[in-house]
Structure 1
Amino acid sequence: MSSDFQNVVPDTEHKGLVGLLPAVARPFAVLARFDRPIGWWLLFWPCAWGIALAGGAIDRWDLLLWLLLGAIAMRSAGCVYNDIVDRDLDRQVERTRSRPLASGAVSLKAAWIWLAILCLIGLIVWLQINGVAKLVALGSLALVAAYPFMKRITWWPQAWLGLVFSWGALVGWLAIVPEFHWAMALLYLGSIFWVIGYDTIYALQDREDDALVGIRSSALRLGDNVHFGVLNFYLMALSSWAAAFWMLRPHWLAIVTLAPISLHLLWQVTTLKSADGDDALAKFRSNRFAGLLMFLACLVLGQAG
């Protein structure tokens, strides 16, 4: 891998694995964010929560694997689509100007073809779920298509991302129990607040560049109140999840299962250095572990029901 290509994305992970690919494939891997697996996990965890809370994590372990594959494919497709839409803006931001489309390493036509291939993989996963879950999964497409434009029209694109990245909680639940339940809705609502919180932390890296080129974000909107804002989003997430758990099992032990993730989210907020981009990135990535803690809580409650 050339020294120029190694720096395509400054917050990349696993550069060595991408470097093992043929030179012609590397830009496509980076375009799909294969070098940044945190996004797969953040999209997958709400799916897993829905399956686990509905009581299907053990019996339908295969569905967890299918939805993980779907999360990888559709997160990658979303990134490709986002870069197609944002290619001109990306050229103006230091952290993103060397992305494959913005830098010219991948042509626009090739990006559209790559997007179609990733969507085909998503279609194969879609065929593995029941009819109700299929219909609900289709409902996310409009949200995904609109997301790249939100940063141009609202200070809260993170809220829209919450709608998108949390949608799997509905799909996962309905894939096991194909009927509405308020616990499912509250699980989804809590996930939205969680996403707003962690993506506000992520946006701290780009505040200066975003302000210069006119990109809006919750990190800019909150200003010096980022810690207070993120704390409140996390508290709303935990409150929603506690309400969901209580609806399924009205016992104080049900709420105790949320203690590990509560402590983790509190640690994120209290130790966050908002002026340090590296620390913000580390705190953002730690939500992969937060998702696991929430999954374990859902698994315990779902199997106890």
Structure 2
Amino acid sequence: MTAPLPDAAPANWVDRHAPAPLRPWLKLGRFDRPVGVWLLMLPGWQGIALACAMQGRLPDPALMAAFFVGAALMRAAGCAYNDIVDRDIDAKVARTAGRPIPAGQISVRQAWAFVGLCCLASLGVLLALPPLAIALGVGSLALVAAYPFMKRITWWPQAWLGLTFNWGALLGFAAASGGLQAPALILYASGIFWTLGYDTIYAVQDLEDDALAGVKSSARRLGEAAPKGVFGFYVLSFVLALAVAWFAGLGPLFWPPAALFGLHLSRQAQRLDVRDGPAALALFKSNALAGLLLFAALAAGAWRPALGFAAGG
């Protein structure tokens, strides 16, 4: 059994069960760290839930399954592309030096082939969606392509990740409704601040190594004020999530899971310690639950006392 990478669970399934020749490829796509799939997929599920709730029905399970597959494929492609661009930086950072490209397990040319195959497979999923959703999916590639360079030019690459990871909220809404409305745009804005918060937490792990490598991050920019900064980002995310419910006219069942979502975010900010990288990683991973709580709130908001759920919902 190969040693797990520092930010992967010690008992992750890739290192424990995958055939040895496949492990570098699965690690290149971050399949040993599935939380990233959840964080990319959940905005899409939230967009689907919002569009369906505005029609008084529950989310479409088949559409959710398609978004799960698409998110897994595009996250793998994006991670491999990021590793190609960042291979020299990764070699200087303790947490990333063991990744397949800087470790010499996979060549740059092989990694490009992996990116291409993942993109082709995800294109098959995308083409089954309505025209606007297809256009939005293609448009997201520009955000993905630019992201690895943001840490070189701005202290706020986490904000660009927010633009990228939450694009699925727009895509999911368009896939479920065929169009875009103001609540979807507000949900997208809420997600951007959510990602800005949780990825600042994630960047706490690399404060010293990033400084030595000259890599910029919101965690470095905020320094000791990072917990206050994360709290501020999360407050904005929560307020915008409430605005989504208001403008979408969601039912009263939205509010209990939404309150749990807000509580979960506030406790993350309260517990963040910039001197404790392992604890920061655990807080970061807990955002899969946070995203599920907001998804549940949006889905539950479909119920209205006078109407119940729409037929077929």
Shift of 1:177: 1.4
SS of alignment partner, residue 235 of structure 2: helix
> In the aligned structure 2, how far is the partner of 1:303 from the partner of 1:252?
8
Residue 11 to residue 257, structure 1, CA distance change in 2 (3 Å): closer
Equivalent residues of 1:19, 1:26 under 8 A apart: no
Q: Deviations over 1:200-253 (max 9, x none)?
A: 000000000001110000000001111110000000001111111101127777
Equivalent residues of 2:203, 2:218 under 8 A apart: yes
SS of alignment partner, residue 100 of structure 1: coil
1:58 partner amino acid? L
Aligned match for 1:50, one of 26, 42, 47? 47
Q: Deviations over 1:39-89 (max 9, x none)?
A: 000000000000001117736210000000001000011000000000011
Q: Which residue of 1 aligns with 2:217?
A: 217
> In the aligned structure 2, how far is the partner of 1:97 from the partner of 1:59?
41
> In the aligned structure 1, how far is the partner of 2:194 from the partner of 2:156?
14
> In the aligned structure 1, how far is the partner of 2:79 from the partner of 2:303?
35
Q: Which residue of 1 aligns with 2:299?
A: 299
> In the aligned structure 1, how far is the partner of 2:259 from the partner of 2:128?
34
* Equivalent residue runs for 1:10-29 within 5 Å: 10-13=6-9, 14-29=11-26
Residue 277 to residue 17, structure 1, CA distance change in 2 (3 Å): same
Q: Which residue of 2 aligns with 1:198?
A: 198
SS of alignment partner, residue 102 of structure 2: helix
Equivalent residues of 1:231, 1:266 under 8 A apart: yes
Shift of 1:19: 3.6
* Equivalent residue runs for 1:264-303 within 5 Å: 264-303=264-303
* Equivalent residue runs for 1:102-121 within 5 Å: 102-121=102-121
Q: Deviations over 1:122-174 (max 9, x none)?
A: 11110121111111111110000000000000000000000000000000001
Identity of matched residues, %: 47
> In the aligned structure 2, how far is the partner of 1:40 from the partner of 1:95?
20
Q: Which residue of 2 aligns with 1:76?
A: 76
Shift of 1:102: 0.4
> In the aligned structure 1, how far is the partner of 2:124 from the partner of 2:188?
24
Shift of 1:266: 1.0
> In the aligned structure 2, how far is the partner of 1:250 from the partner of 1:48?
16
| Structure 1 alignment gaps of length 5 or more | none
Residue 299 to residue 23, structure 1, CA distance change in 2 (3 Å): same
> In the aligned structure 2, how far is the partner of 1:303 from the partner of 1:105?
52
Shift of 1:21: 2.3
Shift of 1:254: 4.8
Could you say what the CA RMSD is over the residues aligned between the two structures, in angstroms? 1.6
Residue 24 to residue 177, structure 1, CA distance change in 2 (3 Å): same
> In the aligned structure 2, how far is the partner of 1:287 from the partner of 1:263?
12
Shift of 1:94: 0.9
Equivalent residues of 2:59, 2:299 under 8 A apart: no
* Equivalent residue runs for 1:15-164 within 5 Å: 15-55=12-52, 58=58, 60-164=60-164
Equivalent residues of 1:55, 1:303 under 8 A apart: no
| Structure 2 alignment gaps of length 5 or more | none
Q: Structure 1-normalised TM-score?
A: 0.94
Shift of 1:280: 0.1
Equivalent residues of 2:133, 2:178 under 8 A apart: yes
Shift of 1:256: 4.9
SS of alignment partner, residue 39 of structure 1: helix
2:128 partner amino acid? Q
Equivalent residues of 1:261, 1:290 under 8 A apart: yes
Q: Which residue of 2 aligns with 1:244?
A: 244
> In the aligned structure 2, how far is the partner of 1:126 from the partner of 1:61?
16
> In the aligned structure 2, how far is the partner of 1:35 from the partner of 1:59?
28
1:40 partner amino acid? V
